[in-house]
Structure 1
Amino acid sequence: MIKLYDKGVYLVNGTEIVEDTKDAVQALQSKCGKAPSKEEAARGTMAYGILEAHNTSGNMENLQIKFDKLTSHDITFVGIIQTARASGLEKFPVPYVLTNCHNSLCAVGGTINEDDHMFGLSCAKKYGGMYVPPHQAVIHQFAREMLAGGGKMILGSDSHTRYGALGTMAMGEGGPELVKQLLNRTYDIAKPGVVAIYLTGKPQKGVGPQDIALAIIGAVFDNGYVKNKVMEFVGDGVANLSADYRIGVDVMTTETTCLSSIWQTDDKIKEFYEIHKRPQDYKELKPADVAYYDGMVYVDLSTIKPMIAMPFHPSNVYTIDELNANLMDILDDVEKKALVSLDNNKAIKYTLKDKVHNGKLYVEQGVIAGCAGGGFENVCDAADILRGKYIGADEFSLSVYPSSQPVFMELVKNGTIADLMETGATVRSAFCGPCFGAGDVPPNNGLSIRHSTRNFPNREGSKVTNGQIASVALMDARSIAATAANKGYLTSAADMDVEFTKPKYFFDSKIYENRVYDGVGKADPSVEIKFGPNIKDWPEMTALTDDMVLKVVSEIHDPVTTTDELIPSGETSSFRSNPLGLAEFTLSRKDPEYVGKAKAVQLGEKARVAGEDIYAALPEAKEVFEKINQKFTVDPKTTQIGSMIYAVKPGDGSAREQAASCQKVLGGMANIAKEYATKRYRSNLINWGMLPFLYPDEIPFENGDYILIKDIKKAIANKDEVIKAYVVNKDMKEFELRLGNLTDDERDIITKGCLINYYRSQM
């Protein structure tokens, strides 16, 4: 059972729940002899204490956070360091760890990925950072093993930066937010709400952490219950979960669109730090005697059954039993939902009904991988289910990726790897590829079940624009193993007769001691940075002008648009260090015409900046400005010309800044949306100098229209709540836009044109 409370709640002594009703004061008096104010009780959450300890503003309503540590992987760290270098970076002021777990494999026919790795190593030496070579660990496992600490805060440039189970409040953000930390600036946010995730009971046999996580995601995603809030895990049920189990639930909190997470800690977490030879980093965390939460998700762990998130979102959840019992009806519903994700593309014949063999659902692939699935306990439990069985010689395959070399080595030592290989499974080194389409791509029309983080369209590596489509369903490692034992027929782990051996974990730190470069606090300015031919500087970006003219070049009406749809993952990752090269892939799987349209508009802006003939570069601009000047006096020579996209709710998913920066590189100046799916995507827009407009109603413009935004620079400076805009192609039809709350620094960043320009102006 999962219950969402309609109102806030008080938690007394960590176990008793008092709803925020008119009787709350009396109930608190009777239970604990005192009734603190709501404001006072809100300071009793674990989240409040950690945020307060890291806030530098002196005002807990508007936070300015400095993090203890930073971490990035090889899809993001090149762009981050290049931005920081352009903004005046001299050395890393806090420990900054550069991991290499996304672009681990060298691109065929080139040296692109390995060049990025050498860039990272040379920067770790020059600026005083830590460098983790490819195949050693996925980013989040290394952070758990070596970086997390009780009461600490970590900022990472990957959306699944979540170490709350270990008592660390971690956040995943776009690269520019890390740049701010590298330049001794702060992470500025309004005080977030805190929602209690109250766990009670004990999971059933065969139910794993992914099952609990998917059940929670299914309950809170669509209604935005925890959006941009901190999820605080409390309750008597926490003690019934191992450290690995908690980690497996915690990493998936990203898929709820929450800001961060934190858990109460106990002896099991203390033991985790002891095993990893860092006992000093443990800190006991628990709520105060009375703590107030803005909401509560009540989870009875004993009622959760093995789950499956069907394509194409982690919130599209069913129990495996429910799916098997109502197979054709649910598959029909899944196919209808898929049509929305696939833009009703008639060239794609999408169906899962052909997977039904003799009344059972057959899948072609199973994958247990990454920061969510590749943990020690998950792999051991999967091996227990499979031991003595075989995955068969048909289409079904099974791949297992331990999350780090220390985990891999212990699995070798205790015989788990041998047991898995004997079944026909293949075991690979630590790699995030299956999570974003760079590994284990299924066959066309294939269905893959994965204990990984996401199952968005195309994230498994297929290309709809090339006529290829495959699907990923998310499941726990235990039910994936049960399905493998049944040779590819979907099976719940709860149906398996198995005794879980639960071997003890022993961590060997020698692997890291001998392979990881640790230059933290030892910057050497004499080191020359190694640049490969694919590593390019950011192009120059223009400052905001008094007025701006925007052409709508893409219009997306999907309920949610993911960052993977804005800038695809997978094979495009080889161009992460080349802003212009990567930008060619922008919206390529959602709107293939976008790049050409955006670049055509950009020609006009380039001509304006160069003092050349705007109308020769962008002929349609002549008629646009003639119409504008029938109503206003607007000089095209001093008016910024750019492109923009409209999307209903963009930005769900990855923290990758490229979802915004690629638009800006192509001349994108704004987004208009009903709302933004995540804070991090909105922040990425702002940090790249793009206006995050809000418009809640049916839009008065369409693809191809030009929009004039008059006196935009003045409106930003004056903090105007309403900004007037005009649809040029619709006889200057007036409508009103909003920007929402912006800090003074964010207003300055937008005005300057991007974060790089903002810092350059201060040098």
Structure 2
Amino acid sequence: MIKLYEKGAYILHGTEIIDELEATNELVSSKLGRACQKTDAAKNTLSYEILKVHNTSDNMDKLKIKFDKLTSHDITFVGIIQTARASGLEQFPVPYVLTNCHNSLCAVGGTINEDDHMFGLSCAKKYGGIYVPPHQAVIHQFAREVLAGGGQMILGSDSHTRYGALGTMAIGEGGPELVKQLLSRTYDINMPGVVGVYLTGKPRKGVGPQDIALAIIGAVFKNGYVNNKVMEFIGDGISNLSVDYRIGIDVMTTETTCLSSIWLTDDKVKEFYEQHNRIEDFKELTLKDVVYYDGLIYVDLAEIKPMIAMPFHPSNVYTIEELNRNLYDILDEVEKKVMISLDNSTIKYQLKDKVQNNRLYVDQGVIAGCAGGGYENICDAADILNNKYIGADEFSLSVYPASQPIFMELVKNGTIARLMETGATIRTAFCGPCFGAGDVPSNNGFSVRHTTRNFPNREGSKVTSGQIASVALMDARSIAATAANKGYLTSAEDIDAEFLKPKYFYDSKIYDNRVYNGLGKPDKMTELKFGPGIVDWPAISGLTEDIVLKVVSVIHDPVTTTDELIPSGETSSYRSNPLGLAEFTLSRKDPAYVGRAKEVQKAEKARVAGEDISAANREVAEAFEKINTKFSIEARDTQIGSLIYAVKPGDGSAREQAASCQKVLGGLANIAEEYATKRYRSNLINWGMLPFLFKEDLPFENGDYILVKDVKKAIKEKISEIKAYVVTKEMKEFTLKLDELTDDEREIIEKGCLINYYRDKNMQ
């Protein structure tokens, strides 16, 4: 059972909940035995205390955060370091870990991904960082084992940067925010709201952390209950969860669109740090006698049943029991939702054909990554599969331990041998199944995965090529139960298994022998290794007084993911090549986008070169002719670019390329009803793009030109409403809005991007 409180709530002595709808200061004070004000109680959250320690400003409403540590993987660190180098980087000012868990599979017929790895190693040597070679650990497992510390803050360039269960407030952001930290700048945000997550009771046998996480996501995603807030896990139920279990819930908080997470810590967490030879990094985090939360999620763990998140979102949740009981009705409902999301009538999407003998047949099971590849998940899965076999039909099962230390312990205690005996295959630490670079299903395949996301095409299929496959998210235990029944969807509650719970013994020798640790030892004489696929950013122009935009894509989906803006999977090999990667922008959603954007960009390139824009793009020149029937606007002084409209863009990954690819193709703005995440909006800003808001019926269509008047003045003078005009004979007027921007963000937009901003700062 999950209950969302309509407003906020007070927690007294860590256990008593007082609903704000029923509370008064007098009531809370009387129960507490002393005077209590809501504003004071709100400062008693764990989150407030940690943010206060890391805030460098004198204003807790306007935070300027400096993080203790940074972490990135190999489809983000090249761009981050290249941007930082262009902005004046000399050495890493804080510990920075470069893991290699995304581009671990080298491109066929080339060395492009391994070139990125060698670049990373040379950077770790030159600037004083840590380099984790491919297949050693997925980014978040290494951070748990080596980086996390109680009361600390970590910033990572992966959206699932979440170490709250270990007492670490971690945030996943786009690369430019890490660039700021590398240049000793700050992470600037308003004080976020804090939502308590009160856990009580004990999970049922067979229910795993993914089940709890999916139930919570299903309750809060659509209503935005925790959007850009911190989720603070409290309650007596925490003591009933192992640390591995807590980690499994915690990592999935990203899918709620929260900003970060933090948990109470106890002796079990202390034991975790002791196991990992870092007892000094443990810090006990406990609640004060009264705490106020901006919202409260009450979770009775005992009431949560095995769950499944059907295509194509982690919030599209059902209990497995419910799905099996109402199979055809739910599959029909899912099919209808999917066709709205695909917006492509040429694709035949069907799940009902997966029903065999009135049961749902699954083609593939995967237990992997930062969510599924934990020690306890894999051990429990092996116990469910003990003395069983997955069969010789279509169904397959792949297991990816999240790190080599976990893998080695599973080998030592016999778990790997037991799994292999069932027919499962064991892989190394690799994030591929989460983003379409590993275990890609066949066309029309249905895969159940204990991974993080199941967005459209994230598993590797390409709608534009007529391919489609489905991923449903489940816990490792129910995936094992399904495997035990040779691919027929089965809840772990329906399998009678003895969970042996073997103790985990961490051995650091693998890391001691293979991980390069250059902390505090930068070698400025080291030459960076550049492969041919590592390309510098192109020159980017600054903002002009007015801008002319062509609408080149209009997306009416309720939510647009970063995977749809810039696909994962096969594009990974191009992550270090801004122009090469940009060719894939919106390729799975609107394949004509790149061509349209490039046509507009021809006019801008001509303008910057001082050439006649009419020769480059006659359509743009005609748009200026119409504009000049009402305004006197000189083309040579007016930036020309493209524009994407989406209802709610930016759900999912933190990858900055969702914005930077638009920018290198000449994108200057997005218009949206709202932005799904702070990190996507930040990525737009850091690449000099305007994050406009517009919530009414659209006055423009795809292909229209828009004049935005006095935009530079609006940015400088903090004007939030800006006049815009659809370029027609009538020059139809409408108003665009801008949410709050910091002074630095305003200057970044004026300069054209973060690189220009820092380059100019360094020249002053």
TM class, shorter-chain normalised? over 0.9
Distance in 2 between residues matched to 1:154 and 1:25, nearest whole Å: 36
**Which amino acid counterpart does residue 455 of structure 2 have in structure 1?**
F
Distance in 2 between residues matched to 1:695 and 1:512, nearest whole Å: 50
Instruction: Name the structure 1 match of 2:390.
Output: 391
Instruction: Name the structure 1 match of 2:533.
Output: 534
* Range that drifts further, 114-123 or 334-343: 334-343
Deviation at 1:686, TM superposition (A): 0.0
Distance in 2 between residues matched to 1:729 and 1:416, nearest whole Å: 69
* Range that drifts further, 167-176 or 722-731: 722-731
Residue 25 of structure 1 pairs with residue 25 of structure 2: yes
Distance in 1 between residues matched to 2:22 and 2:450, nearest whole Å: 44
Instruction: Name the structure 2 match of 1:634.
Output: 633
**Which amino acid counterpart does residue 748 of structure 1 have in structure 2?**
E
Deviation at 1:729, TM superposition (A): 2.8
Distance in 2 between residues matched to 1:305 and 1:474, nearest whole Å: 14
1:168-188 alpha-carbon deviations (Å, 9 max, x no partner): 000000000000000000000
Deviation at 1:25, TM superposition (A): 2.5
Deviation at 1:116, TM superposition (A): 0.1
Following superposition of structure 1 onto structure 2, how do residues 80-229 of structure 1 map, counting pairs within 5 Å? 80-229=80-229
Distance in 1 between residues matched to 2:612 and 2:419, nearest whole Å: 67
Does structure 2 conserve the Cα–Cα contact (< 8 Å) formed by 1:607 and 1:617?
yes
**Which amino acid counterpart does residue 751 of structure 1 have in structure 2?**
E
Deviation at 1:30, TM superposition (A): 3.4
**Which amino acid counterpart does residue 83 of structure 1 have in structure 2?**
T
Does structure 2 conserve the Cα–Cα contact (< 8 Å) formed by 1:18 and 1:24?
no
Instruction: Name the structure 2 match of 1:271.
Output: 271
Residue 547 of structure 1 pairs with residue 546 of structure 2: yes
1:57-80 alpha-carbon deviations (Å, 9 max, x no partner): 110000000000000000000000
Q: SS of the residue aligned with 1:729?
A: coil
Residue 307 of structure 1 pairs with residue 298 of structure 2: no
Q: SS of the residue aligned with 1:761?
A: helix
Does structure 1 conserve the Cα–Cα contact (< 8 Å) formed by 2:25 and 2:38?
no
Does structure 2 conserve the Cα–Cα contact (< 8 Å) formed by 1:306 and 1:479?
yes
Distance in 2 between residues matched to 1:386 and 1:622, nearest whole Å: 68
Instruction: Name the structure 1 match of 2:643.
Output: 644
Instruction: Name the structure 1 match of 2:664.
Output: 665
Q: SS of the residue aligned with 1:184?
A: coil
Distance in 1 between residues matched to 2:665 and 2:528, nearest whole Å: 28
Distance in 1 between residues matched to 2:760 and 2:530, nearest whole Å: 26
Instruction: Name the structure 1 match of 2:702.
Output: 703
TM-score, scaled relative to structure 1:
0.99
Deviation at 1:199, TM superposition (A): 0.2
Distance in 1 between residues matched to 2:593 and 2:518, nearest whole Å: 43
Instruction: Name the structure 2 match of 1:654.
Output: 653
Does structure 2 conserve the Cα–Cα contact (< 8 Å) formed by 1:668 and 1:690?
yes
**Which amino acid counterpart does residue 6 of structure 1 have in structure 2?**
E
1:118-169 alpha-carbon deviations (Å, 9 max, x no partner): 0000000000000000000000000000000000000000000000000000
Q: Paired residues, what number?
A: 762
Distance in 1 between residues matched to 2:313 and 2:196, nearest whole Å: 24
Deviation at 1:463, TM superposition (A): 0.6
Instruction: Name the structure 2 match of 1:76.
Output: 76
Instruction: Name the structure 1 match of 2:230.
Output: 230
**Which amino acid counterpart does residue 514 of structure 2 have in structure 1?**
R
Distance in 1 between residues matched to 2:243 and 2:83, nearest whole Å: 37
Distance in 1 between residues matched to 2:31 and 2:451, nearest whole Å: 43
Q: CA, structure 1 residues 137+624, in 2 after alignment: closer, same or farther (shift >3 Å)?
A: same
Q: SS of the residue aligned with 2:728?
A: helix
Does structure 1 conserve the Cα–Cα contact (< 8 Å) formed by 2:197 and 2:299?
yes
Following superposition of structure 1 onto structure 2, how do residues 599-748 of structure 1 map, counting pairs within 5 Å? 599-729=598-728, 731-748=730-747
Distance in 2 between residues matched to 1:581 and 1:721, nearest whole Å: 35
**Which amino acid counterpart does residue 115 of structure 1 have in structure 2?**
D
Q: CA, structure 1 residues 375+730, in 2 after alignment: closer, same or farther (shift >3 Å)?
A: farther
Q: CA, structure 1 residues 468+500, in 2 after alignment: closer, same or farther (shift >3 Å)?
A: same
Instruction: Name the structure 2 match of 1:421.
Output: 420
Distance in 2 between residues matched to 1:557 and 1:665, nearest whole Å: 24
Distance in 1 between residues matched to 2:23 and 2:96, nearest whole Å: 49
Distance in 2 between residues matched to 1:340 and 1:521, nearest whole Å: 53
Distance in 2 between residues matched to 1:733 and 1:412, nearest whole Å: 68
Does structure 1 conserve the Cα–Cα contact (< 8 Å) formed by 2:373 and 2:399?
yes
Instruction: Name the structure 2 match of 1:584.
Output: 583
Q: SS of the residue aligned with 2:538?
A: coil
**Which amino acid counterpart does residue 280 of structure 1 have in structure 2?**
E
TM-score, scaled relative to structure 2:
0.99
Q: SS of the residue aligned with 2:631?
A: coil
Instruction: Name the structure 1 match of 2:753.
Output: 754
Deviation at 1:621, TM superposition (A): 1.6
Instruction: Name the structure 2 match of 1:382.
Output: 381
Does structure 2 conserve the Cα–Cα contact (< 8 Å) formed by 1:199 and 1:301?
yes
Does structure 1 conserve the Cα–Cα contact (< 8 Å) formed by 2:29 and 2:36?
no
Deviation at 1:288, TM superposition (A): 1.4
Q: SS of the residue aligned with 2:262?
A: strand
Distance in 2 between residues matched to 1:339 and 1:166, nearest whole Å: 40
Q: SS of the residue aligned with 1:123?
A: helix
What are the ranges of 5 or more consecutive residues in structure 1 without an aligned counterpart?
Answer: none
Deviation at 1:737, TM superposition (A): 0.5
Q: CA, structure 1 residues 59+489, in 2 after alignment: closer, same or farther (shift >3 Å)?
A: same
Q: SS of the residue aligned with 2:390?
A: coil
Deviation at 1:626, TM superposition (A): 1.0
Does structure 1 conserve the Cα–Cα contact (< 8 Å) formed by 2:626 and 2:729?
no
Instruction: Name the structure 2 match of 1:356.
Output: 355
Distance in 2 between residues matched to 1:350 and 1:314, nearest whole Å: 19
1:598-626 alpha-carbon deviations (Å, 9 max, x no partner): 00000000000000111100111221111
Does structure 2 conserve the Cα–Cα contact (< 8 Å) formed by 1:18 and 1:27?
no
Distance in 1 between residues matched to 2:182 and 2:389, nearest whole Å: 50
Q: SS of the residue aligned with 1:630?
A: coil
Distance in 2 between residues matched to 1:294 and 1:256, nearest whole Å: 16
1:194-231 alpha-carbon deviations (Å, 9 max, x no partner): 00000000000000000000000000000000000000
* Range that drifts further, 407-416 or 720-729: 720-729
Does structure 1 conserve the Cα–Cα contact (< 8 Å) formed by 2:668 and 2:688?
yes
Deviation at 1:22, TM superposition (A): 5.8
Deviation at 1:29, TM superposition (A): 2.9
**Which amino acid counterpart does residue 139 of structure 1 have in structure 2?**
I
**Which amino acid counterpart does residue 545 of structure 1 have in structure 2?**
T
Distance in 2 between residues matched to 1:30 and 1:52, nearest whole Å: 29
What are the ranges of 5 or more consecutive residues in structure 2 without an aligned counterpart?
Answer: none
**Which amino acid counterpart does residue 342 of structure 2 have in structure 1?**
L
Residue 458 of structure 1 pairs with residue 421 of structure 2: no
Does structure 2 conserve the Cα–Cα contact (< 8 Å) formed by 1:164 and 1:170?
yes
Instruction: Name the structure 2 match of 1:5.
Output: 5
Deviation at 1:19, TM superposition (A): 1.4
**Which amino acid counterpart does residue 665 of structure 2 have in structure 1?**
L
Q: SS of the residue aligned with 2:79?
A: helix
Distance in 1 between residues matched to 2:22 and 2:324, nearest whole Å: 46
Distance in 2 between residues matched to 1:673 and 1:30, nearest whole Å: 47
Instruction: Name the structure 1 match of 2:502.
Output: 503
**Which amino acid counterpart does residue 143 of structure 1 have in structure 2?**
A
1:394-420 alpha-carbon deviations (Å, 9 max, x no partner): 000000000000000000000000000
Q: SS of the residue aligned with 1:291?
A: strand
Deviation at 1:730, TM superposition (A): 6.2
Deviation at 1:34, TM superposition (A): 2.0
* Range that drifts further, 615-624 or 684-693: 615-624
Identity across matched positions, percent: 79
Instruction: Name the structure 1 match of 2:408.
Output: 409
